[in-house]
Amino acid sequence: MSDSHNLCDSPKTINGCRTSGSLSQENPDSVERPSLSATTLLSVRKKKIVLHIDLNNTILVSDAVTKQGTVAALEYFLSTVTWGRMAKGKWEWMCESPSLHPPCDGAVSYYSQFGRVVGFTTAGPGKRFRRVLEEHLELLRWPSDLPAHKELSVKGEDGKLYHWILPSFFQLLQDLVSQKIEFSIFFRTFGADLPRLLMVVQRVLEQGTHPLFPMLPELKLSVDTTPGQIRCNNKGVILVRGEERVSTQDGERSLYNCLSLSQGLGGFQDHFNWWAHNTYTIMGGKPLWVDPFDSTIQHIFIDDNIRQNNDDTIVHPKVFLDPRGSETRTASTSELYDLCLIQTDLLRAISDPSYFTQRIQICMENYERNLRQQLC
C-alpha cells in the first residue's frame, strides 16, 4: 500500500471521476424531486410506517461482537466510505472526503480492498481523514456538564465519554409523534446488543432516564423487551419471539401481516450465518417484505450496510407480486433505495439531530409518488 499517489489533492475530476463528495449529500435520484403539496403530505402522514433499524453504525457507534469501542467503530465506518483503486500495485485515493457512493466507476472502498484496518486514520493511509474522525467524535461526546450515565454513556478507547445511543434516534421518536405519524419500530441486528438495548430504551421511554430527553415518557411508547429471532434456510424464513412463531410455510403474506400489525418498539436478531453462507449477497440478507400495492403501510429499513450492489448488501427485499397474494420476488437494492431502504450516513446521523427524520420523510414522499403512479 502506498500513500504517494495523492489523488485527493488533484483537480476536482480525475479521468472523469468526481473526487469531491460528502456524506451530507443526498442520493442524486432524490435531490431534484419537487416537494409535495400540503394535501399529499397530509395523506403521507396518515400512513403507518414500520421502521426496521440496524444497531451498529446506525444508532450505536460501537460493536459488542467485534469488541469495537466508539473510536474503532467510527474508524471502521470511515474505511467503508472512502474510495480509491489499486494502480501498479499501489493504492491511489480517488476521493477528497467520505461519501456513501463511489465517486466513479472503478473506485472501491478502502475496506472492500483491504478489510478491517486497526487505526485506519491514526497510522494507516487513512490519516487524511483523521480530522473527520476527530470532529465527529467531538460531536458524539457525552455532555461535559453531566455525570457519566451507567446505561447511556460509554467510555471510549481514548478514555472520553460518548453517547451509547445516538441522540438523533430519540429525536426521531419525538418528531414522529409530534407529526402525528403512526409508526412501530423493530431493531434488526446480527449482533448481541439487542437485549441490552431493549431494556435501556424501555427505561428511557417509560422512566425518562435520558437527561437530554426527559420528556420521552409523555410519548406513551411501549417496548417489548423480549428479543426475537429471524432464521432463514433454503425452505424459507421463521420469525420467533416469545410464544409467537410465524414462518413462510404459512405464506409470505403472514410474516408481512405480523410485522405490519406491530405496535411500539421491539427487536429481532437476524441470521448472520445465513448471510455469510450466501457470501454476503442480497439473497442472504435480512428479509424485508414490501407490498407496493398497500397504501396504508410502508416498511422502511435503515442500515449502514445497505448498498446499491446486490453482491454486497445486507437487506433482502421481498416484494409481493399481487395486492393480496403471497408470492414475492427479490427486488434489487437500487429499485427500493430511498423508498424502503435507507443506507445510514453515520456522519450525518451524528452531526444532524433531524437526520433520520429527514431520510424517512424522503422515503414516505417517494413511496406516495410510487403509489400514485400505479393508480394512473
SS (H, E, C) 168-214: HHHHHHHHHHHCCCCEEEEEEECCCCHHHHHHHHHHHHHHCCCCCCC
Whole-number pLDDT of residue 17: 55
Whole-number pLDDT of residue 67: 81
Tell me the three cell numbers of residue 25.
Answer: 449529500
Q: Among candidates 332, 331, 316, 327, which has minimal Cα distance to 252?
A: 327
Residues 6, 93 contacting (CB under 8 angstroms): yes
Whole-number pLDDT of residue 46: 77
Whole-number pLDDT of residue 124: 76
The number of beta carbons lying within 10 Å of the beta carbon of residue 87 is 13
Whole-number pLDDT of residue 79: 96
**In which residue are the cell numbers 429471532 written?**
229
Residues 320, 362 contacting (CB under 8 angstroms): no
Q: How many CA atoms lie within 13 A of 37 on its CB side?
A: 2
- Beta strands, E only, the chain: 13-14, 17-18, 48-53, 83-87, 90-93, 108-109, 153-155, 161-163, 183-189, 228-233, 236-241, 244-247, 265-269, 286-290, 297-303, 315-320, 328-330, 341-343
Q: Among candidates 149, 141, 144, which has minimal Cα distance to 61?
A: 141
Residues 306, 282 contacting (CB under 8 angstroms): no
Distance CA 163, CA 212 (A): 11
**Per-domain boundaries in the chain:** 1-32+62-163, 34-60+165-376
Close Cβ partners of 13 (under 8 Å, ≥ 6 residues apart): 19
Whole-number pLDDT of residue 144: 96
Q: What is the pLDDT along the chain (376 residues), one digit of tens a residue?
A: 433 333 333 334 443 454 433 343 334 344 333 334 444 444 455 799 999 999 999 999 988 777 889 999 999 999 999 999 999 999 999 999 999 999 999 999 999 999 998 899 987 789 999 999 999 999 999 999 999 999 999 999 999 999 999 999 999 999 999 999 999 999 999 999 999 999 999 999 999 999 999 999 999 999 999 999 999 999 999 999 999 999 999 999 999 999 999 999 999 999 999 999 999 999 999 999 999 999 999 999 999 999 999 999 999 999 999 998 999 999 999 999 999 999 999 999 999 999 999 999 999 999 998 888 776 6
Close Cβ partners of 309 (under 8 Å, ≥ 6 residues apart): 333
Tell me the three cell numbers of residue 195.
Answer: 437485549
The number of beta carbons lying within 10 Å of the beta carbon of residue 221 is 21
Whole-number pLDDT of residue 187: 98
Strand order in the sheet with 83-87: 90-93, 83-87, 108-109
